[in-house]
Amino acid sequence: MREEPILIALAGNPNVGKSTVFNRLTGLRQHTGNWAGKTVSLAVGSCESQRHRYTLTDLPGTYSLLAHSAEEEAARDFLNAGQAEAVIVVCDASCLARNLNLLLQILALTPRVLLCVNLMDEAARHGLRLDLPLLSKRLGIPVIGVSAREKSSRETILQALDALIDGPLPRPRCLPQLPPEADEDAVTAALLHRAAALCEGVVWQSDLGKPRRDEAIDRLLTSRWLGYPLMLLLLALILYLSVLGANPLSDALSALFGWVELRLNALVAALGLPDFWRGLLIDGAWRVLAWVVAVMLPPMAIFFPLFTLLEDLGYLPRVAYNLDRPFQRCHACGKQALTLCMGFGCNAVGVTGCRIIDSKRERMLAMLTNSLVPCNGRFPLLLTLLGLFFAGGSALRAALGLTGLLVFSVVMSLAATRLLSATLLRGQPSSFVLELPPYRRPQLGQILLRSVLDRTLFVLGRAAAVAAPAGMLLWLLANLSPGGVSLISRCAAALDPIGRFFGMDGVILLAFLLALPANETVLPVLLMVYAGGTVLTAPGDLQQFHALLLQQGWTATTALCVLVFCLFHWPCSTTLLTIRRESGSLRWTLLAALLPTGMGLALCALIAALSRLLA
């Protein structure tokens, strides 16, 4: 066994089970970071065989090394650098010919390659048979077949890797001969032709007369007439489950944080801190932080696993397929549909997800318009106002009303995308390969791990980092009263004429401004200012809250304007910071804040003007 671990690269197309192979080999001995100078995530892990110790670098999933996305550039640069002593290329047994395109490109860079044909069990269920020894002979490299979900696959891969490292250097004899002046399209065509030729006689269908289950399901889910209704029905169901399950969890967390607050107050009293510091730290920083976590965590903890479940099942690519035509008409990329869906959970995650779009212009379109769909941080206010003013207190009607608002936000997102593509970001939509992977049995453990660690806690951590300072600012504004009038009341009065013009009032505008760190705080800020309080409090009984709003002059028009402005206003600070990091531009970040705000204010002004005209 060598003293130093051997560096191995793990490569493959998306949706081939590469992450499952990586997790099977490394177990919990792995960590995630960023590629130097890039926003592409990097996973590194370690494992040991009977002969060697290995360090595995999981390259970003990519269809080709010829394109120009950040993921493909990172994978290509790593392989070109020659740091890895060998490469494991993972392919899907059910679509082998398409996956061999990437393998042939990697073989042109390095010959020491192990081809790992994964998902052999799924291929067998589809009636596919593979002659892997024949494929190995044609390629001139070792080829193994595994089902990475099975524990035995680890030993199979490590044994083959040991043989590759200790054996002679392979001599691939399958690369197509290309003239030096061949362009990218000619290279791609030659590689695809060569991949198809390699699979002749290697892959065959044992039951040609048997219709595939996936094709029957796809005919339903991607149908021109049923595709969109089924999408809407599924969205409504996810929202309903998120709302139904989040309420008791939020109540439990609020009770827990209330208990902690009592202990913190006792600790502060024991330390003898002045009332000012107790109010600033406990009533300000801690209470806002606790409110954000209690309101934000439960719906995310339900929404993100459900979203990841759809991703694991293979449904999300079907959503992108259904929405590809509308986005193409807006001169955008169909992959924007996936980032838009992520935005329903969290706009910051949706902006980060825009990395999957190759074209920089189309990536900017997706980032700038992602905040036009509301994240789950806005759901509490939307659902509360729907229930109080329009749904008669019915959770089902409120969920259906929320679904209608979300559909409207998608339409506005398409309109804004078309506007930007015709003005600041002109250009034609690029072509891309949209793979419809086979439907798979979801891995519940991996779903919980990815949704909780990679999404929920990531977003919650960023929100919590800004919630505590925002709580301190809010407490100061509510408790500093020069001339006997609090600063927060003075700010609300100054904003009142502007708010009235847009069908709202100064308190509403101020609540949205103070909720910049976290949208979840709009509702309690409204309650605090309207009730003349000095600390953030939960709404409590909704009927009392409704009565308080009516006392402040709220009407159905006011509620409708607040609903619209809740849909379309500046993104939260976490999303703005993410846009700044992903775009590298303060100018684009500013536009990402002004675009939804301008649309929301214009719609509110229209609603208010129509209401005055009818009155």
Q: What is the pLDDT of residues 532-562, one digit of tens each?
A: 777 776 665 667 888 889 999 999 999 999 9
Q: Total structural domains in the chain?
A: 2
The pLDDT value recorded for residue 211 is: 47
Q: Which CATH number do you get for residue 157? A: 3.40.50.300
Q: Scanning the structure block, which residue is given the tokens 């976490």?
A: 574
Short-list 432, 558, 576, 546, CA closest to 506: 558
Distance CA 378, CA 28 (A): 35
Question: Helices marked H in 450-555 — which ranges?
Answer: 457-479, 487-501, 506-514, 522-530, 542-551
Amino acid of residue 13: N
Residue 444 confidence (pLDDT) above 80 = no
Tokens of 486: 């609090």
Find the Cα–Cα–Cα–Cα dihedral 73, 75, 80, 86, rounded to 10°: -170
Distinct helix (H) and strand (E) counts, the chain = 26, 9
413, 315: one domain: yes
Which residue, 173, 205, 237, sits at the end of a domain?
205
Give phi and psi for 67, each to the nearest 5.
-80, -170
- Tell me whether residue 436 is in a domain: no
Amino acid of residue 450: R
**Confidence band of 196 (pLDDT split at 50, 70, 90):** confident
pLDDT tens string 9-24: 999 988 788 888 998 9
The pLDDT value recorded for residue 431 is: 64
Which residue, 205, 239, 268, sits at the end of a domain?
205
Distance CA 394, CA 402 (A): 12
Sheet containing strand 143-145, strands side by side = 30-34, 41-48, 53-58, 6-12, 86-92, 113-118, 143-145
494, 351: one domain: yes
Distance CA 257, CA 286 (A): 9
Short-list 335, 356, 353, CA closest to 344: 353
Residue 360 confidence (pLDDT) above 90 = no
The pLDDT value recorded for residue 34 is: 46
Question: Helices marked H in 226-357 — which ranges?
Answer: 227-271, 275-278, 287-313, 316-329, 336-345, 347-353
Distance CA 603, CA 68 (A): 39
- Tell me whether residue 212 is in a domain: no
The pLDDT value recorded for residue 36 is: 44
The DSSP annotation for 555-601 comes to -HHHHHHHHHHHHSSPPPHHHHHHHHHHH--HHHHHHHHHHHHHHHH
Lowest-confidence segment of 63-67, 94-98, 217-221, 228-232 by average pLDDT: 63-67
241, 188: one domain: no
The pLDDT value recorded for residue 294 is: 80
The pLDDT value recorded for residue 293 is: 80
Residues 6+ apart with CB under 8 A from 604: 502, 503, 504, 561, 564, 565
pLDDT tens string 394-428: 777 877 888 899 999 999 999 999 999 999 998 77
Give phi and psi for 458, each to the nearest 5.
-60, -50
Lowest-confidence segment of 208-217, 377-386, 389-398 by average pLDDT: 208-217
Distance CA 247, CA 459 (A): 20
Amino acid of residue 510: L
**Confidence band of 37 (pLDDT split at 50, 70, 90):** very low
Short-list 313, 339, 328, 280, CA closest to 479: 280
189, 46: one domain: yes
427 φψ region: left (φ > 0), alpha (ψ -120 to 50), beta (else): left
Mean pLDDT of 291-318: 80
Mean pLDDT of 510-527: 85
- Tell me whether residue 359 is in a domain: yes
The pLDDT value recorded for residue 605 is: 97
174, 245: one domain: no
Helix (H) or strand (E) holding 427: none
Residue 343 confidence (pLDDT) above 60 = yes
Q: Which domain holds residue 483?
A: 227-425+444-614
- Tell me whether residue 46 is in a domain: yes
**Confidence band of 371 (pLDDT split at 50, 70, 90):** very high
- Tell me whether residue 478 is in a domain: yes
The pLDDT value recorded for residue 212 is: 63
Of 29 and 319, the one with more pLDDT: 319
Give the angle 5-7-9 at the CA atoms, nearest 5°. 150
Distance CA 124, CA 94 (A): 9
Distance CA 428, CA 419 (A): 13
Tokens of 72: 């493909």
- Tell me whether residue 213 is in a domain: no
148, 198: one domain: yes
Tokens of 472: 């301190």
408, 529: one domain: yes
Give the angle 366-70-116 at the CA atoms, nearest 5°. 115
Residue 596 confidence (pLDDT) above 90 = yes
- Tell me whether residue 438 is in a domain: no
105, 252: one domain: no
Which residue, 205, 235, 261, sits at the end of a domain?
205
172, 258: one domain: no
201, 242: one domain: no
Share of the chain above pLDDT 70, in %: 89
User: Bridge-partner residues for 30, per DSSP?
Assistant: 45
Mean pLDDT of 463-471: 76
- Tell me whether residue 282 is in a domain: yes
Of 88 and 190, the one with more pLDDT: 88
Under a CB-based contact definition with an 8 Å cutoff, are residues 357 and 327 in contact?
no
308, 453: one domain: yes
Share of the chain above pLDDT 90, in %: 34
Short-list 259, 323, 327, 250, CA closest to 292: 250
Tokens of 52: 């060697």
Tell me how far CA of residue 290 lies from CA of 154, 254, 258, 529, 574, in angstroms: 44, 7, 9, 19, 17
pLDDT tens string 238-257: 877 877 787 788 888 888 98
Residues 6+ apart with CB under 8 A from 160: 114, 116, 142, 144
Of 212 and 266, the one with more pLDDT: 266
The pLDDT value recorded for residue 432 is: 63
> Helix 586-614 vs helix 556-567: angle between axes, to the nearest 10 degrees?
160
The pLDDT value recorded for residue 182 is: 61
Mean pLDDT of all residues belonging to the chain = 84
Is residue 39 helix, strand or coil?
A: coil
Residue 213 confidence (pLDDT) above 80 = no
233, 200: one domain: no
pTM (whole model) above 0.75: no
